[in-house]
Chains A and B, each alone.
Chain A
Amino acid sequence: MKRSNAPIFWLLFGAGGMLSALLGTALVFITGIAVPLGWAPGDLLAYSRMLALARHPLGKAFLFLVIALFAWHAMHRLLHSLHDVGIPIGTASKLACYGIALALTVVAGWSLLATG
Chain B
Amino acid sequence: MNGKSTVRRPYVRPMGGWWRRDPFFMRYMIREATALAVLAYAVVLTLGVVRLAQDEAAWNGWLDALRSPASLLLHAVLLVAMFVHAKSWFEIMPKTMPMLFVGGRRVAASTITRIGWAATVLASVVLIALAWGWRT
Q: Do A and B bind each other?
A: yes
* A contacts, CB < 8 Å to B: 16-18, 20-33, 35-37, 40-41, 44-45, 47, 50-52, 54, 63, 66-67, 70-71, 73-75, 77-78, 80-81, 84, 86, 100, 104, 107-108, 111-112, 114-115
Q: Closest CB of chain B to A34's CB: distance in Å?
A: 8
CA distance A44 to B72 in the complex (A): 17
Interface of A: prevailing SS: helix
Asked whether A20 lies within 8 Å of B38 as measured between CB atoms, the reply is: yes
B residues at A contact (CB < 8 Å): 15-16, 19, 29, 32-33, 35-36, 38-39, 41-46, 48-50, 52-53, 56, 59-60, 63, 66-67, 71-72, 74-76, 78-79, 82-83, 85-86, 89-90, 116, 119-120, 123-124, 127-128, 131-132, 136
B75 touches A74 (CB 8 A): no
Query: Are A81's CB and B124's CB within 8 A?
Result: no
